[in-house]
Structure 1
Amino acid sequence: MKTGKSLRSAAWFGSADKDGFIHRSWMRGYPEDVFDGRPVIGICNTWSELTPCNAHFRELAERVKRGVWEAGGFPLEFPVMSLGETNIRPTAMLFRNLVSMDVEESIRANPIDGVVLLCGCDKTVPSLIMGAASCDLPTLVVSGGPMLNGKFRNTMIGSGTDVWRFSEDARAGILSLPEFREAEVCMSRSAGHCMSMGTASSMACMVEALGLGLPQNAAIPAPDSRRLTLAHLAGRRIVEMVHEDLRMSRILTRQAFENAIRVNGAIGGSTNVVLHSLAIAGRIEVDLSLHDWDVLGRDVATVVDLMPSGRFLMEDFYYAGGLPAILRLLGENGLLHRDALTVNGKTIWENVQHAANWNSEVIRPVDNPVAAHGGITVLRGNLAPDGAVIKPSAASPHLLRHRGRAVAFDSIEHYRQRIADPELDVDENSILVLKNCGPCGYPGMPEVGNMGLPPGILRRGIRDMVRISDARMSGTAYGTVILHVTPEAAVGGPLALVRDGDWIEVDVEARKLHLDVSDEELAARRSAWKKPEQRMKGGYQGLYVDRVMQADRGADFDFLVGCRGADIPRESH
């Protein structure tokens, strides 16, 4: 028997002693030669019937296995908790760090030489990458792909984006309940994640921009046969990566993250990518900050005309050329680190230098962008000393510089109680402020930052107001929404001190978010402030509140930051 000592799995399967006997004996459903020095490839699967976005992952996993077998590897599939924004309450973000722990320890504890991560719905992507980054083995990501375009009355509709529009039309009396229900069955036409440029699509693009996925990973629709082919090729490639010892730390460099930040600006990507990128960078020990997002993305034009910033959907994006066309565009304009390494062993520029744009309406030229200054803008001031974020491409231009009176809500429940009150003192120039929905406050930082407007405002045909919170919003949402205010209200950040009638000034171009209240008054309010009672004591949620970092640090657990490697655990026999 070959020992395959260069392989990590040899510590389990390569010895002729009692331990080798035990490990091989339990795996005797496979032929003898699988233990003969073959790389063991773990396939980390987030398939679940409770996560419809990932419902097709059984077949994807089988295609990965075919490729692994063909390349001389030994594929072994393993499950981890699956996070679907579709069903999980109170929010999938609450469990992102938990799943990352599941992934990290599953990889480290088992005889795995390389890993393929199968992820689709938005929190499955960062959680799997974070966990794998802490182990730093050869790793390749296969995204599940977007669902087919939604169609309602001969009009394209986008998941998430049109939910908010239909909901506000129904609340305004423009859309009847039967019509609202009719639209519901027209949106999700196939397996796959959201087909607008929400967080799932944005994170799939980040996978490709970071170099963790094969070319065209981001946009191939979930039902397209080419998604199966990509999974098959990924299975072949991961075996080669093990032989090359091509680890995550060689791919997830500072240059790779800078590429991803600029890509997010060009595609009009989700604000949630900010949180996830900071958390991933922390795990792989790359110095990345909220400031980098503002500086690097500031001059990137949004050229992908997709909902919620534009008109089209991910299926159209793929047919137009997908992310390779965007990477080539950035590379030709000096906005791409061309020599960044990718999982196929080539540089990112080698992969995309001949990519074509087949539809200049979907992927616009730089002189006719959706937004001249896309990306994510970081605002600071006495209301957000450590930063807050806004996505200008999804905002109303006339509100990007605005001064208005605050209408403050102490919680999402308080908002729901008050927002439809006809006596609520609010107009279209007011600024809606939501507190205690940050990482500690909710807990888990839910996607409630894009608060629905008061019904009276909607009935007047107004569809946007400035909204400020320490929460997140779905990447599929739109509006002039300022998010991730840090420090959050629940830990005593200035947001906790805002009262009805306070004047707030927003100036996106100047990166300013200012509460026009004197320092003396704020000090008096702070002395009277009381920390909200924790919603759940003990258990995982108790651990979460005790150890989660603020949004400007990616909302990871403080004890998970850093790359711990994949050292073989102590023998168990």
Structure 2
Amino acid sequence: MSDETTDRGLARGLTNYGDRDFSVYLRNSFAASMGYSREVLKKPIVGIANSASGFNNCHRHFPELIEAVKRGVLLGGGLPIEFPTISLGEVFLNPTSLKFRNLMAMDTEEMIRAQPMDAVVLVGGCDKTVPAQLMGAASADLPAVQLVAGPMMTSRYGTERLGACTDCRRFWGKYRAGEISTAEINEIEGRLATTAGTCAVMGTASTMACIAETLGMALPGTAAIPAVHADRLRAAEASGLAAARMIDHPIRPSQVITGKSVENALRVLLALGGSTNAVIHLTAVAGRLGIDIPLARLNELSDETPVLVNLKPVGNHYMEDFFFAGGVGAVLRELKPLLHLDTLTVTGETLGDRLETDPGFVDRNVIASAEAPLEPQGGLVALFGNLAPRGAILKRSAADKSLFEHEGRAVVFSSLEDLAARIDDPDLDITADDIMVLQNAGPKSASGMPEAGYLPIPKKLSSKGLKDMIRISDARMSGTAFGTIVLHVAPEAAIGGPLALVRTGDRIRLSVAGKRIDLLVDDAELDRRRADWSPGIVPPEARRGYDRLYAEHVLQADEGCDFAFLKPVSGSA
């Protein structure tokens, strides 16, 4: 038995029966029932975390993708063993996928730790799956490679090119405004998402794919490959091979995800004009290794990092164009003077090593040069003030610059239900100069911080041609959305943050230049309102299961909405 009791392969992390040799013997016996030969059972194991589901359209190509991963593992001398985890299909979850991100992260972490594997390939894509997998992998700290699903290809409606989901919102806005008919919107509905893969624009899924590559957790050049492209299968094979190679030469997530690589990822996020959700997710991933992301630091980076990528919802193009234009590598080369080049990747090379290779063709219509950027400053900015003492986020690259310095009257909606009931009331007292405010849509609210910050323009205004107005909430916004929208207000209304004290008729001032969002109500009046405020949420003790766990432990947006008990124990980071 001596050659079978090394701490690798099936002998790793043995079930404890009080007799180690018996544990190995029993495990091999049961593994043999799956048809493995005795020689195969001696091999080191690469686990493959499969997040496919019938409720996740983005991942429907995973069977073929995972076969390619297995091929790569076998080429590297390992035994590939696939295992399932929770899957988070963005539009199929209630109340919101973010609520279950931490549950998937726990699932991923514990299955990596509990099952015998020497390295792991994380296969995910749809918005919250990649951050959940990175969070879990960071905590388990086993050699890991992230393989993303890849974006959808675009479709057509007449002469217009369509891609989920910026165009979903664009056409729905036209439908609400009466610009297109029911028959037209029904036809468009069937043409917005027509292949496997994640949204075809620089939404959250694509942003997180680019972040995973920038961090060094995904192989160079793999973030933007379309889901249905043959290169996606080659990337899967290479990811399996890379994981197998790390068995004898381990590179752990804690060596890859560092303060420096996180800062590189923030730079790329800003240059992409990427999703606001990525701030929450990257904060949560970094937090698993004890790395903080102060929003004030985000502003410092944003002030000196230009927007370079011309993709929807910020620009005109789609992810398949980004892939053919040069992808993440082309962006990194433009940002090179601003980056930490000594960061490590799962290949064993540094970022600097990678950027020494031939960049190939770069399409400047899609990826601008640093000398001639699309915008001189980053796509995101954090706002502070008495309405958001711990910060809020604005995607300025997707907003109307004419609204950047604006004071207006608040029109308050106390909940998503209140919003739905009144938004299209023809008697709603609202004008284009007003500021819409949504309360009680943050992480501890009943809605669990959904992507509801993209408040619809009231029909009485949209029907007159209004396309944008200032909207403020403690909710999130889809990375595919656009508009002058202030999100992630912290602390949130449900726990008595200043947002809870806003009343219709109050004046609010937004200053993007000053990075401020202020409620123009004197402190004495706010103190009176605070004394009268009471929480309107079901207390944790009246809940059960994961809903209770979430309600008790979820942190605020500026802390990544993770659970405090999942962060490193003091002294262990």
TM-score, length-scaled by structure 2: 0.95
The verdict on how the C-alpha distance between 1:510 and 1:309 changes in structure 2, with shifts beyond 3 A counting, is: same
Matches of 2:334 and 2:491, distance apart in 1: 37
1:445 aligns with: 449
Q: 2:545 aligns with which of 531, 539, 560?
A: 539
1:342 aligns with: 345
2:29 aligns with: 25
1:429 aligns with: 433
Matches of 2:308 and 2:456, distance apart in 1: 28
Q: Deviations over 1:303-354 (max 9, x none)?
A: 11000000000000001011110011111xx111111111111111222332
2:196 aligns with: 191
Q: Deviations over 1:31-64 (max 9, x none)?
A: 111232x221110010112100011111111111
Q: 2:178 aligns with which of 169, 173, 180?
A: 173
1:101 and 2:114 correspond: no
| 8 Å contact kept, 2:4–2:24 | no
1:483 and 2:487 correspond: yes
Matches of 1:68 and 1:60, distance apart in 2: 13
Amino acid at match of 2:93: I
Q: CA deviation at 1:2?
A: 2.6
Amino acid at match of 1:250: Q
| Equivalence map 1:113-262=2 (5 Å) | 113-262=118-267
Q: CA deviation at 1:7?
A: 3.0
Q: CA deviation at 1:376?
A: 1.7
Tell me, what secondary structure is at the counterpart of 2:140? coil
| 8 Å contact kept, 1:299–1:374 | yes
Amino acid at match of 2:345: T
1:322 and 2:327 correspond: yes
Q: CA deviation at 1:565?
A: 13
Tell me, what secondary structure is at the counterpart of 1:256? helix
Tell me, what secondary structure is at the counterpart of 1:26? helix
Q: CA deviation at 1:476?
A: 0.1
Q: CA deviation at 1:4?
A: 6.7
| 8 Å contact kept, 1:135–1:565 | no
Matches of 2:498 and 2:8, distance apart in 1: 53
Moved more, 240-249 or 311-320: 240-249
Tell me, what secondary structure is at the counterpart of 1:269? coil
Moved more, 315-324 or 344-353: 344-353
| 8 Å contact kept, 1:377–1:389 | yes
2:524 aligns with: 520
1:10 aligns with: 11
| 8 Å contact kept, 2:46–2:118 | yes
The verdict on how the C-alpha distance between 1:461 and 1:508 changes in structure 2, with shifts beyond 3 A counting, is: same
Q: CA deviation at 1:366?
A: 2.6
Q: CA deviation at 1:357?
A: 4.3
| Equivalence map 1:306-321=2 (5 Å) | 306-321=311-326
Tell me, what secondary structure is at the counterpart of 2:73? helix
Matches of 2:294 and 2:31, distance apart in 1: 45
Identity %, equivalent residues? 45
Moved more, 2-11 or 491-500: 2-11
1:509 aligns with: 513
| 8 Å contact kept, 1:278–1:554 | yes
Aligned residues: 563
1:562 and 2:568 correspond: yes
| 8 Å contact kept, 1:54–1:191 | yes
Matches of 1:13 and 1:164, distance apart in 2: 51
Q: CA deviation at 1:150?
A: 2.8
Amino acid at match of 2:294: S
Query: RMSD of aligned C-alpha atoms?
Result: 1.8
Matches of 1:70 and 1:13, distance apart in 2: 26
Amino acid at match of 1:201: S
Amino acid at match of 2:350: T
Q: CA deviation at 1:284?
A: 1.7
Matches of 1:65 and 1:416, distance apart in 2: 48
Matches of 1:343 and 1:372, distance apart in 2: 32
TM-score, length-scaled by structure 1: 0.95
Matches of 1:336 and 1:442, distance apart in 2: 40
Tell me, what secondary structure is at the counterpart of 1:35? helix
Q: CA deviation at 1:89?
A: 1.4
Amino acid at match of 1:134: S
Gaps of 5+ in 1: 567-573
Moved more, 313-322 or 178-187: 178-187
Q: CA deviation at 1:153?
A: 1.4
Matches of 1:564 and 1:130, distance apart in 2: 18
Matches of 1:294 and 1:85, distance apart in 2: 29
The verdict on how the C-alpha distance between 1:512 and 1:564 changes in structure 2, with shifts beyond 3 A counting, is: closer
2:51 aligns with: 46
1:300 aligns with: 305
1:358 and 2:345 correspond: no
Amino acid at match of 2:352: W
Amino acid at match of 1:198: G
Gaps of 5+ in 2: none
1:412 and 2:416 correspond: yes
Amino acid at match of 2:340: H
The verdict on how the C-alpha distance between 1:563 and 1:213 changes in structure 2, with shifts beyond 3 A counting, is: farther
1:284 and 2:285 correspond: no
Q: Deviations over 1:410-458 (max 9, x none)?
A: 0011011111111111111100000000000134210000100011211
Moved more, 284-293 or 203-212: 284-293
Moved more, 291-300 or 113-122: 291-300
1:55 and 2:56 correspond: no
Matches of 2:519 and 2:452, distance apart in 1: 22
Matches of 1:12 and 1:519, distance apart in 2: 58
Tell me, what secondary structure is at the counterpart of 2:49? strand
The verdict on how the C-alpha distance between 1:57 and 1:529 changes in structure 2, with shifts beyond 3 A counting, is: same
The verdict on how the C-alpha distance between 1:563 and 1:139 changes in structure 2, with shifts beyond 3 A counting, is: farther
Tell me, what secondary structure is at the counterpart of 1:134? helix
| 8 Å contact kept, 1:9–1:113 | no
| 8 Å contact kept, 2:86–2:104 | yes
Q: CA deviation at 1:472?
A: 0.1
Q: CA deviation at 1:287?
A: 3.1
Matches of 1:480 and 1:97, distance apart in 2: 29
Matches of 2:211 and 2:367, distance apart in 1: 17
2:88 aligns with: 83
Q: CA deviation at 1:358?
A: 2.7
Q: 1:34 aligns with which of 32, 40, 49?
A: 40
Amino acid at match of 1:469: S
| 8 Å contact kept, 1:374–1:391 | no
Amino acid at match of 1:45: N
Tell me, what secondary structure is at the counterpart of 1:298? helix
Q: CA deviation at 1:543?
A: 1.4
| 8 Å contact kept, 1:270–1:475 | yes
| 8 Å contact kept, 2:494–2:537 | no
Q: CA deviation at 1:12?
A: 5.3
Tell me, what secondary structure is at the counterpart of 2:328? helix
Q: Deviations over 1:380-401 (max 9, x none)?
A: 0000000000111001111111
